[in-house]
Structure formats: C-alpha cells, structure tokens
C-alpha cells in the first residue's frame, strides 16, 4: 500500500484570506497564535500503517511510542528526512497556497484542487449563494458596501440581534454579535478606517437564530463527484467558540434523514464538484429550538476537528470505546513539562492504555509551547487537546470533570 506523509496547518483560513477585504476587529495575542501552530500534532490520527507524520515541532519520542502502543500507526519524521518520504503521497489538513510547493520540495505525490477553487468554496459568501442555488431560503445576506451594511443591519436589528461574519472567518473569530445600533455604528467607523486604506467591504449578515444543537457532517468528495459520508458529529460550543466534538448516535442520524438533510449534503457535494473541488469536506449545520434544520452554517472544504474525532472513534471502536474530543484551555506559572504531566496522568490511572484509563492526549506542545518560547516564570497559556474515551455505560461528562479536577490539582488554572 502507498505510504502517505501527513502534514497540515490548522489556521488554514489565515492563508486563504487575500487581505483585500475589511476585517472584523481582532486583538492579536501571541500565546494563542503559538498554540495554534502546534495543533498539527493531532494529525497522527489520520495515520495508517507505514505513514509518516511531519509536524512543525517534533513530537516527543515517548509520546510517539505511547500513541503507537495504543494503536495509532505512524512514524514521525523531521523535515530534513527528505529521502525517507520521497515518493509518498501527501495527506494534508487543507489545501493551502504552498501545497504545490510542498509536493515539489519533498518529491511527494498527490492531486489537489486549485487554490483558487479552494478559496472560493471555503468562503461564506459561496455558501450563502449556494442556498438559493439548491432551492433553499438563505439565512444570510451578503453586503458589499457600508450603506448596505447599515441598511441591512438596521433592518435585522428591528427583529433582534444579528451576526456579522467575515467571508473567511475562523472558529472563535470572524463573527461578531451586533446587539444594538451603537455597536453597529462602532463597527461602521472601524470599517471606514479600513476602507480608507483601500480595503473592500464584504460581510455576511445573519439574524441571531435560537439554536438547540450544533453539528457537522464529514464527507469525502472524490474527483468524479461521488460523496462518501463519514460521520455526523455533534459540536460542543461555548458561545461562538469550539469546545469539542462527539459522534452522533443512530437516532440523531435518523432524525436528520427524516428531514432530508443528507440529500442537501449530496447537493452540496454536487456543487463543490462543479466548482472543481475534491477532497475532505466538513459542513457545519445546526438545529434550531423549533427543530428546524439549518443545513449549511458554513462549508469547510478541508479536514476539521470533527474529522479528528471521527478518526479517533474509528480506531477505538473495535476496543469497545467511543470518543469525545475536547480541549482544556489552561494557565500555569513558569515552566511545565509534558513528560511530567503525562507520567502523573498515568500514575493517577487516567491515561488511556487500552486496558484502563480514558484520557487520550492528542497533542504535547500545545501545553508547553508558551513556556518553551518565553522561558519566564510568569503565567502562560496552554491547551490540552484530548479524546475522552468512554464505554457505553459511562458518561463522558463525568470523566471530563474528573480529568479537569486532576488538572486543577496539578496546579493549572482552567479557562474554559
């Protein structure tokens, strides 16, 4: 079987943005940006026998051994090990402007859609237009100048709060809730400043809907346009931020089937194919309080956290476990060692080892990167990406609470 080299970057949207449109306000914070750079470690879940994983920061050897022992098949390679990986296929998180260059640089094989197409189909403007194309009533409106923004915004405010979305927004950013005329006017002034610098207005305005459940549909679209459904993941959110994924049960899928949801997804696949896209797709959807389904909240034409949980679940299902992917956003003083934390988790009987335990760490550097980078004794931010593996008679929330208590006792401050 052909080997693959797995690599990727989790802030794809930042690479897809072309910089000519106005942005919503963001506060640049170095520590969170550092953490995002380390998330590629969790792509080990995509590995099959003989596959290689290349990450920005080399995964610690003991962690690689542990993941191999519990059943994940991959071998870490350093960027200089070019001879080892030459001729392999590239398996990437998302197609980026440098994907072609990576293929050439490492002499890898792979066929990918053009970056122009990838940019197009990942834009929220594209998914908003797609609603009408497939015969659904769109929930959002695209605005392309300030007068339109104010006119549509004020109309929406008459009914309640609304969201301004960037065409290429990332989870936890790229959305802003507008709860009154004052905030809307504030945003107008903010955008005016950017317009003066030559940027264009392009936003999607959507009424703030009363949602009950967020979920996502993961599928692979082949070059011939065939859709291969992989999973439905319920999304755990806090506010607008992502908190985790858990595989939906058969009842939930049956409910979606009864609402014709999968036919809409097939139409999404058909349109993506027409646009020239093929590869991984994760469509975010939601169910409103009145049980109405909003099938397309956004289209992520790439892999996603839902994909990560799907692959973990596939691996542990034969062992009798289900998986809930989540992360803890933590703070700690001074320096921290992932090895020490890992050993303590093991000693406490929480670390998954096929026989016992339920915490499967998915990353190492996301916890430590900021102490490694700064070397100061002050407080640093870190994240623990984990899969909580549970059996049918167990409640993942209870296990998560126990894990959180463990982290607090370890001296961490929990932020989410």
Partner 1 sequence: MKEKIKEILVEVSEKPELMEALQGDFNIIEEVGLDSLQMINFILRVEDEFDVEIDFDEFDYDNLQSVSSFCEFLKNQ
Residues binding partner 1 (CB under 8 A): 24-27, 29, 32, 172-173, 175-177, 182-183, 186, 189-190, 238-241, 329, 331, 379, 381, 413, 415-416
Least gap, CB of 52 to partner 1 (angstroms): 33
Q: Which is nearer to partner 1, 144 or 185 (CB)?
A: 185
Q: Which of 29, 257 has the CB closer to partner 1?
A: 29
**Can you give the three-state secondary structure of 63-93, one letter per residue?**
HHHHHHHCCCCCEECCCCCHHHHCCCEEEEC
Minimum separation from the CB atom of position 186 to partner 1 (A): 7
- Which two structure tokens, joined as six digits, stand for 260? 């014709």
CA 167 to CA 123: how far, in whole Å? 5
Q: How far apart are CA 120 and CA 272, in angstroms?
A: 10
- CB-side exposure of 283: number of CA atoms within 13 Å? 28
- Residue 306 near residue 218 (C-beta atoms within 8 A): yes
Give dist(CA 415, CA 32) in Å, integer: 13
Nearer CB in complex with partner 1: 109/413: 413
Residue 60 Cβ vs partner 1, minimum distance, rounded to whole Å: 26
CB of 291 to partner 1, least distance (A): 26
Cβ distance to partner 1 smaller for residue 190 or 252 = 190
Q: What share of the chain is helix, strand, coil (3-state, %, to 5)?
A: 40, 25, 35
In the bound state with partner 1, the residue whose beta carbon lies nearer, of 180 and 320, is: 180
Closest CA relative to residue 91, chosen from 37, 43, 42 = 43
Q: Given the DSSP bridges, would you call strands 75-76 and 162-165 parallel, antiparallel or unpaired?
A: unpaired
Q: Of 178 and 205, which CB lies nearer to partner 1 in the complex structure?
A: 178
C-beta closer to partner 1: residue 365 or 381? 381
- Non-local (6+) Cβ contacts of 213 within 8 A are 234, 286, 287
Measuring CA to CA, which residue among 253, 232, 252, 234 is closest to residue 242? 234
- Measured on CA atoms in the order 142, 19, 105, 368, is the torsion positive or negative? negative
Q: Cβ 80 to partner 1, closest distance in Å?
A: 34
Q: How far is 85 from 99, CA to CA, in rounded Å?
A: 16
CB 95, min distance to partner 1, A: 25
Whose Cβ is closer to partner 1: residue 88's or residue 371's? 371
Least separation in angstroms between residue 352's CB and partner 1 is 27
Report, in Å, the least distance between residue 25 CB and partner 1: 4
Distance, CA of 335 to chain centre: 28
């Amino acid at each position: 079987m052909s080997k693959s080299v797995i690599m990727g970057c989790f802030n794809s949207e930042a690479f897809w943005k072309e910089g000519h449109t106005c942005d919503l306000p963001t506060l640049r914070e170095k520590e969170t940006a550092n953490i995002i750079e380390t998330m590629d470690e969790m792509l080990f879940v995509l590995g099959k026998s003989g596959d290689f994983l290349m990450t920005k920061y080399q995964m610690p050897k003991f962690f690689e051994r542990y993941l191999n022992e519990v059943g994940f098949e991959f071998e870490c390679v350093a960027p200089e090990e070019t001879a080892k990986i030459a001729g392999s296929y590239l398996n990437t998180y998302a197609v980026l402007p440098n994907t072609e260059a990576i293929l050439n640089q490492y002499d890898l094989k792979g066929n990918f859609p053009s970056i122009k197409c990838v940019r197009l189909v990942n834009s929220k403007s594209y998914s908003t237009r797609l609603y009408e194309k497939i015969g659904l009533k769109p929930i959002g409106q695209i605005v392309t100048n300030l007068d339109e923004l104010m006119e549509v915004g004020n109309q929406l405010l008459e009914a309640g709060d609304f969201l301004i979305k960037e065409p290429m927004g990332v989870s936890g950013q790229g959305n802003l809730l507008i709860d009154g005329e004052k905030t809307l006017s504030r945003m107008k002034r903010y955008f005016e400043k950017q317009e003066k610098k030559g940027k264009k207005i392009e936003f999607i305005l959507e009424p703030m809907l009363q949602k009950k459940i967020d979920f996502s549909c993961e599928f692979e679209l082949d070059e011939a346009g065939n859709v291969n459904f992989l999973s439905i993941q319920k999304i755990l959110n806090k506010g607008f931020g992502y908190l985790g994924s858990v595989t939906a049960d058969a009842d939930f899928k049956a409910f979606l089937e009864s609402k014709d949801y999968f036919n809409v997804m097939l139409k999404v696949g058909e349109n993506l194919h027409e646009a020239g896209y093929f590869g991984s797709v994760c469509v975010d959807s939601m169910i409103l309080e009145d049980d109405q389904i909003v099938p397309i909240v956004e289209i992520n034409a790439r892999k996603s956290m839902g994909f990560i949980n799907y692959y973990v679940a596939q691996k542990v299902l034969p062992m009798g476990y289900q998986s809930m992917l989540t992360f803890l956003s933590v703070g700690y003083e001074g320096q921290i060692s992932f090895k020490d934390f890992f050993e303590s988790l093991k000693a406490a009987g929480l670390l998954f080892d096929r026989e016992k335990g339920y915490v499967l760490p998915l990353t190492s550097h996301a916890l430590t990167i900021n102490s490694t980078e700064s070397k100061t004794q002050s407080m640093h931010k870190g994240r623990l990406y984990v899969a909580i593996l549970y059996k049918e008679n167990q409640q993942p929330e209870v296990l998560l609470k126990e894990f959180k208590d463990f982290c607090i006792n370890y001296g961490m401050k929990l932020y989410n």
